[in-house]
């Protein structure tokens, strides 16, 4: 399972989203955090339909999206998505 965080250099809420994902990863050892900078990974972000940062996408083991949040998700939202991904 992947917790994918789309960020940008000028995004203040991205740090908050990063902290939420770190907390989730501590509680769900199967979760792997992947961070993508939308400027550096522009093509990937465009293909994934990313329109703003932060955006968090949770993927299951078959790379199927089970959750997407723009802005800073709550820890409970991420944990519920992680349970769905497992």
Residue 41's pLDDT is what?
92
Residue 45's pLDDT is what?
95
Q: What is the number of structural domains in the chain?
A: 1
Prediction pTM value: 0.92
CATH number at residue 79: 3.40.30.10
Residue 42's pLDDT is what?
92
SS (H, E, C) 9-27: CCCCHHHHHHHHHHHHHHH
Residue 59's pLDDT is what?
97
Structural domain range at position 11: 2-85
Which residues of the chain have a pLDDT value below 50? none
């Amino acid at each position: 399972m992947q917790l994918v965080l789309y960020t940008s250099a000028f995004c203040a809420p991205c740090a908050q989203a990063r902290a939420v994902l770190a907390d989730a990863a501590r509680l769900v050892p199967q979760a792997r955090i992947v961070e993508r900078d939308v400027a550096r990974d522009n093509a990937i972000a465009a293909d994934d339909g990313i329109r703003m940062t932060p955006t968090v996408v949770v993927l299951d083991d078959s790379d199927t999206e089970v959750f997407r949040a723009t802005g800073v998700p709550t820890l409970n939202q991420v944990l519920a998505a992680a349970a769905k991904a497992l």
